[in-house]
Chains A and B, each alone.
Chain A
């Protein structure tokens, strides 16, 4: 038996772990809960590594499919089956690897929490659903995973359900996601009714077999490909927190920090990117939707980055940074640089998970405090956290040779290379975002780790480095944040030094993102331009770091105050996140609530209840009138009886 035959076990193990921890064990079995809760994803990781090794060594680039059973048959034939191809292979590795280390970290972080068992049950459930999403070989299995991770996200955001805000945030995340899911479902229905299959391979084949059919006008002035691509993209904006549906992600930080790292940074929120790349054939056939994807991605990137600049909650900074980086990924997908999107997804998973876990370590040391205004100077007490956080910050800022540099540079290069003036604008936006990213991330570093401690005495006394079980995952992920980029060193770099092109990721993913129109996937840029672009992105990152250093390293909060004093309008705008939540409240939530209240008061209370009341009143009235005939006088009854007999007689005889 080959390792790939055990593929089904990879999602099954976490599901089993969730079932055992959630249903069978009790809180007092803590060591067993830990063993199962961490063991199941750990075994999944081992199996995934074995399966990936098997795949890369023996099968690549042919997809490997594992059929489990026929879910439905007949004209609506859908199998439950798994697929390993280069795309899902990358995702499989990222999800199992980062997921496992976050589980390890949770043992320390959640160690004293009374809901320890429940936490691990939910986390394992999430891992199972995420792996289902990644491995499913058709859109419906993917959708099941998609909804599964949404459910787990809801459960884990609202994990601290005794407090007021987390359940609300969970509900918000769920509702906002449903808007996207609705569009996603519409896209699935459309594809099925047009092509009769949901299997990724067959779909791609059938679409490519007749490009004219896919590009014929379909709905809303869009082609068939355009309409489904738009549907899928709306689905992706929900799950991956893009404009206009990004508002749930910052609130999702109400969940425990490992959840933010796993679900709301490394894996679930990238599902939208995965989905868009998975269905890239559609996007390639619908350039107008691709442009939309790129514009939305770039807009989200810069909007979120500017908001991140003015946040004081360390997790909020990271949340907006995640939204911003996801924007980058969509920018990449929009300009057709699908490999770059997946590349950035993978590198981002490492450094952002590390950053979140680092912030968790800080919060742990601060006794639950998340406000950076109360921190400062923590690098002395938390050296390991500080170093890993700093490395990951450099990675996200895009300093070579760390992971973020290569992936971000590839996205920017892809945008620059795309023909059209609009894309030059997007490139500038992307470049500005890179500078902002470096700036706000280093602001967070300086406010948290440099300067003087601004918290209370008890907090100062309580400060301590986290236990090994938390720092080891930090080190592992920070290592990932350093080396993950090396799998995608651009071709130009190799060639400049006269070496053979070793852009491993590009070659690996090439079969999944085959060009529809036959135009070369390589952007035809000279090495000089490529080097100049790299220099530009490094320069702007360094500039961002420099600004952050000059402002916040020494002065700390004074810099914020000075900024607020100089530009009060901008400060207020950013601090209140452009009032997006408030605008949505006015434009969407309240009208809907008014509509619901109208339905309740008018349709339900007035029409339905009212109708019933009228009916009841008429019945009662008839009864009231009728009962006066029941006098209790026997002879009167006899008279009625006689009348009846006479009537009957009259009717029968005459």
Chain B
């Protein structure tokens, strides 16, 4: 039997919701970062699922691109946080509030 597409979509929605809640509630920069990755992967999952449903490989191709971009972004993001940590000895985003009025 095949897994109905709605399951994939529900899983993706759940992943996305977890990501959103994590991004909004966690204080650690790394944790927020992970949550964002979670949301990204929820989107990837949706793309792959629809690709399968519609029999069009283009969706899967987009997923690959998205993964590559996410990897690059993760590298940049981690580098940023390492530097912030070196400067401020913390990556608590509540205390990283220089960019304001």
Contact = CB atoms under 8 A, between A and B. Distances in A.
B62 to A, nearest CB: 20
A628 interface: yes
A634 B24 contact: no
Contact of B24 (A628, A630, A631, A642): A642
Nearest to A634: B93
B60 to A, nearest CB: 25
Contacts of B96: 632, 634
Given A639-B24, A642-B24, A634 B101 contact: no
B45 interface: no
B100 A638 contact: no
B100 A632 contact: yes
A635 interface: yes
Contacts of A632: 96-100
A634 B100 contact: no
A75 interface: no
Contacts of A634: 32, 93, 96
A2 interface: no
A631 B101 CA distance: 7
Interface in A422-480: none
B94 interface: yes
Contacts of A639: 24
| Chain A: interface size category | 10 to 19
Interface string A239-273: 00000000000000000000000000000000000
Nearest to B97: A632
Most chain B CB within a 10 A radius of its CB, from A628, A631, A633, A642: A633
A627 B24 contact: no
A627 B101 contact: yes
Interface string A624-654: 0001101111110011001000000000000
Contacts of B25: 635
A635 B93 contact: yes
B100 A635 contact: no
Interface in A592-628: 627-628
A638 to B, nearest CB: 5
A51 B5 CA distance: 108
A400 to B, nearest CB: 97
Contacts of A627: 101
Interface in B1-50: 20, 23-25, 27, 32
A350 to B, nearest CB: 84
Contacts of B101: 627-628, 630
Contacts of A630: 99-101
Nearest to A629: B101
B97 A631 contact: yes
Given A627-B101, A628-B101, A633 B93 contact: yes
Most chain B CB within a 10 A radius of its CB, from A628, A631, A632: A632
| Chain B: interface size category | 10 to 19
Nearest to B26: A635
A468 to B, nearest CB: 86
A631 B94 CA distance: 10
Nearest to B98: A632
A633 B93 CA distance: 7
B94 A633 contact: yes
Interface string B60-93: 0000000000000000000000000000000001
Contacts of A638: 23-24, 32
Contacts of B24: 635, 638-639, 642
A643 to B, nearest CB: 11
A632 B99 CA distance: 5
B85 to A, nearest CB: 15
Interface string A483-506: 000000000000000000000000
Nearest to A623: B101
A631 B25 CA distance: 16
Contacts of B94: 633, 635
Interface in A8-35: none
Contacts of A631: 97, 100
B56 to A, nearest CB: 23
Nearest to B93: A634
Most chain A CB within a 10 A radius of its CB, from B24, B27, B96: B24
Contacts of B32: 634-635, 638
Nearest to A624: B101
Nearest to B29: A634
B100 A642 contact: no
Contacts of B20: 642
A635 B23 CA distance: 7
A642 B96 CA distance: 20
Nearest to B25: A635
Nearest to A639: B24
Contacts of B100: 630-633
A638 B36 CA distance: 11
A634 B80 CA distance: 14
A633 B23 contact: no
B34 to A, nearest CB: 14
Give the 5 A-B CB pairs with smallest separation, nearest first: A632-B100, A632-B97, A627-B101, A634-B93, A632-B99
Interface of A: 627-628, 630-635, 638-639, 642
Interface of B: 20, 23-25, 27, 32, 93-94, 96-101
22 contacts: A627-B101, A630-B99, A631-B97, A631-B100, A632-B96, A632-B97, A632-B98, A632-B99, A633-B100, A634-B32, A634-B93, A634-B96, A635-B23, A635-B24, A635-B27, A635-B32, A635-B93, A635-B94, A638-B23, A638-B32, A642-B20, A642-B24
Given A635-B23, A639-B24, 5 more contacts: A632-B96, A632-B97, A634-B32, A635-B24, A635-B93
